[in-house]
Chain A
Amino acid sequence: MKNKLFNPVFLVLTSIILPIAAFEALVTDNVAASDILFALFCAVMALIVVRK
């Protein structure tokens, strides 16, 4: 699981997809989904910080 979370392909794809998905949810007035997706993006940023 740890290896999968720190996998560079996973980090690249999620850091690209999540903000766009959050934005799309925002423009369709789905605020809850938008906030959750952005929170997940924040978690990906945290993974990048702790990844050595």
Chain B
Amino acid sequence: MTNFLLAALPIATILFLMIKVNWGAARAGAAAWFVTVILAVFFFGAPTDMLIIAQAKGVMLALYILYIVWAALILYFAAEEAGAIKTIGRAIRSLTDDRPLQLLILGYVFASFLQGVAGFGVPIAVVAPLLLGMGFSPVLAVAAPMIGHSWSVLFGNMATSFEALIGVTGIPGTELTHYSAILLGLSGFMCGAAVLWLDGGFRTIRRRIVPLVLISGVMGVVQYFMANYGVWTLGGLTAGIAGLVASIIVTRFWKPHPDDVAEQVADDHQHMPLIEALTPYLVFIVLVTMATFVPAVEMLLGKIRFTLDFPETATATGWVIEAESAKAIAIFGHPGALLLYTAAISFTFFKLRGHYDDGIGKRIWQRTLKSGLPTSIGMVPVIGLAIIMDHAGMTYALAEGGAAVFSGAFAIAYPVIAPAIGALGAFMTGSTNNSNVVFGMFQRHTAELSGLSTALVLAAQATGASLGSMLAPSKILVGCSTVGLSGKEGPVLSVVLKTGVILTALCGFMALGILLITTMNGGT
């Protein structure tokens, strides 16, 4: 229990400093980093070598993410300066006059689609400024895609985090897809409801329950079938495309409530055809598709890789992390590189079409620097503390403490806590993938010891890890940097934390419900 409380201190520190003291993520992260290092050395027996190795791993992961952040910012400002963002916002407004439905389509459906295409914070970096441009508050503009895209993380981005779960647990994917897709589908509905809730509480959900059920239902069902027919790598992408098609159809028949009609925003920019405004995103989709599905292109772009090989580490208490390589950064095939190519193509296109004034290059670079630097300062301490916690056995101590509550007679209720452990892992490591790697085997062992369905418990872990990605500080930093909230991430964290905790708890109760239903039906 002492270890559990000590391991919780860094998280408590970062949350307290960001939410109560209103520090930015960089300052709070660096302060919590010191707390983590002190606890790791004096209470968990971490040697200096381990700290250095863990921190170097943290930098490698930070570089991986920062590559995307900087490229996404350049692309965004290139599009914004040309007037493309305003045009897209106007197009969504013309799709429907219903303001909450506009928020749902962009913050939930479009963000889920982008997660299917790219992931790694791209949905937030792209959608947050679009929402801001449509008149939503900066906090809501970041929080909506953070929450809206989270259900799509497991099967999005070529299902890399699901593959990680399969790899680490050794259980075939076909055994895990059934429960995972059901829990994610139901969680997807709740994510959509939560996005609507942000804009006006339960009344907003009640008034839009029909479009919400139709759109989330289509996405959930499509993802379920894709996952269960063995093509889980395309589960998130196809669900996102189906969601966009469903949204267009639904808005044709939907009449907005008079109270929720979007205000007409003053149009102060020269009009641009929608197809022109969408050029950056269409180019991006084409590039991602080519880099993913054309083996020759994938091989060519992936030739030059930057990685480091890390040796095994061990603490004085015997917690061992095996030797591993850092996540390789394919210099020319990384999502950040694809965003940079997109930015270069879009910039040239908009320049040729005469959408830029003089001195545009300098202006885009200055705006990118202003947004990117505060985010970059925070990334290294935040990710570093998470990896030090993992390598010192602190993250495991947290999970073990939570699981201990549900031992013995309470074992039947373990599915309630399983998603929370997954979400904790995603919050601490900033990645659903890492959460599945860190806690996959732990969850499998716990399920086996408790006599519960391994497939269900692992599905609960994976869904919790997916939902927990909305809490990842690195993603909050990315989102805030694009809407001018750098250094003021506290309010966003406060909103997504409350929502994330509720959604994860609901996911736990759904997993328990499934367990009870299958038990009553005599299943395993």
In whole angstroms, what is the CA distance A25 to B468 when docked?
Answer: 36
What sequence of 0s and 1s flags, for each residue 34-64 of chain B, a beta carbon within 8 Å of any chain A beta carbon? 1001000000000011011101101110110
Within 8 A of A (CB), among B147-161: none
With both chains docked as a complex, state the minimum distance between the C-beta of A21 and any C-beta of chain B, in angstroms: 9
Contact in complex: B374, A8 (CB < 8 Å): yes
What sequence of 0s and 1s flags, for each residue 4-15 of chain A, a beta carbon within 8 Å of any chain B beta carbon? 000011011001
Query: Which A residue's beta carbon lies closest to that of B370?
Result: A8
Known: A26-B53, A41-B55, A48-B30. A8 touches B381 (CB 8 A): no
Known: A27-B311, A45-B34, A49-B34. A15 touches B373 (CB 8 A): no
With both chains docked as a complex, state the minimum distance between the C-beta of A5 and any C-beta of chain B, in angstroms: 13
In whole angstroms, what is the CA distance A52 to B31 when docked?
Answer: 13
Query: Which A residue's beta carbon lies closest to that of B381?
Result: A45
Known: A16-B59, A41-B55, A45-B381. A23 touches B373 (CB 8 A): no
**Which B residues touch A42, using CB under 8 A?**
34, 37
In whole angstroms, what is the CA distance A22 to B26 when docked?
Answer: 22
Known: A12-B376, A16-B62, A38-B51. A23 touches B308 (CB 8 A): yes
Known: A12-B376, A48-B377. A23 touches B56 (CB 8 A): yes
Query: Which A residue's beta carbon lies closest to that of B31?
Result: A49
With both chains docked as a complex, state the minimum distance between the C-beta of B408 and any C-beta of chain A, in angstroms: 43
In whole angstroms, what is the CA distance A48 to B29 when docked?
Answer: 9
What sequence of 0s and 1s flags, for each residue 54-91 of chain B, a beta carbon within 8 Å of any chain A beta carbon? 01101110110000000000000000000000000000
With both chains docked as a complex, state the minimum distance between the C-beta of A25 and any C-beta of chain B, in angstroms: 9
Contact in complex: A23, B380 (CB < 8 Å): no
Judged by a CB distance under 8 angstroms, whether B232 is at the interface is: no
Contact in complex: B52, A22 (CB < 8 Å): yes
Contact in complex: A23, B53 (CB < 8 Å): yes
Judged by a CB distance under 8 angstroms, whether A51 is at the interface is: yes
**Which B residues touch A51, using CB under 8 A?**
26-27
**Which A residues touch B26, using CB under 8 A?**
48, 51
Judged by a CB distance under 8 angstroms, whether B33 is at the interface is: yes
With both chains docked as a complex, state the minimum distance between the C-beta of B403 and any C-beta of chain A, in angstroms: 32
With both chains docked as a complex, state the minimum distance between the C-beta of A6 and any C-beta of chain B, in angstroms: 10
In whole angstroms, what is the CA distance A15 to B380 when docked?
Answer: 7
In whole angstroms, what is the CA distance A26 to B52 when docked?
Answer: 8
**Which B residues touch A45, using CB under 8 A?**
30, 33-34, 381
**Which A residues touch B33, using CB under 8 A?**
45
Contact in complex: A35, B48 (CB < 8 Å): yes
**Which A residues touch B374, using CB under 8 A?**
8
Within 8 A of A (CB), among B9-33: 26-27, 29-31, 33
Contact in complex: A15, B381 (CB < 8 Å): yes
In whole angstroms, what is the CA distance A20 to B310 when docked?
Answer: 11
Within 8 A of B (CB), among A21-52: 22-23, 26-27, 34-35, 38, 41-42, 45-46, 48-49, 51-52
Query: Which B residue's beta carbon lies closest to that of A21?
Result: B56
Contact in complex: A26, B377 (CB < 8 Å): no
**Which A residues touch B30, using CB under 8 A?**
45-46, 48-49
Interface centre among A8, A19, A22 (most CB of B within 10 A): A19
With both chains docked as a complex, state the minimum distance between the C-beta of B50 and any C-beta of chain A, in angstroms: 10
**Which A residues touch B62, using CB under 8 A?**
16
**Which B residues touch A11, using CB under 8 A?**
377
Query: Which B residue's beta carbon lies closest to that of A34?
Result: B52
**Which A residues touch B381, using CB under 8 A?**
15, 45, 48
Known: A15-B381, A48-B30. A8 touches B373 (CB 8 A): yes
In whole angstroms, what is the CA distance A20 to B377 when docked?
Answer: 16
30 A-B pairs whose Cβ atoms sit less than 8 Å apart in the complex: A8-B373, A12-B373, A15-B380, A15-B381, A16-B59, A16-B62, A16-B63, A19-B52, A19-B59, A19-B384, A20-B59, A20-B60, A22-B52, A22-B56, A23-B53, A23-B55, A23-B308, A27-B311, A35-B48, A38-B48, A38-B52, A45-B30, A46-B30, A46-B34, A48-B26, A48-B29, A49-B27, A49-B30, A49-B34, A51-B26
Question: Top 10 nearest A-B pairs by Cβ distance?
Answer: A23-B56, A48-B30, A8-B373, A15-B380, A19-B55, A12-B376, A49-B30, A45-B30, A19-B59, A19-B56
Further 12 A-B residue pairs, CB within 8 A, beyond A8-B376, A49-B30: A8-B377, A12-B380, A19-B59, A23-B56, A34-B52, A38-B51, A38-B55, A42-B34, A45-B34, A48-B26, A48-B27, A48-B377
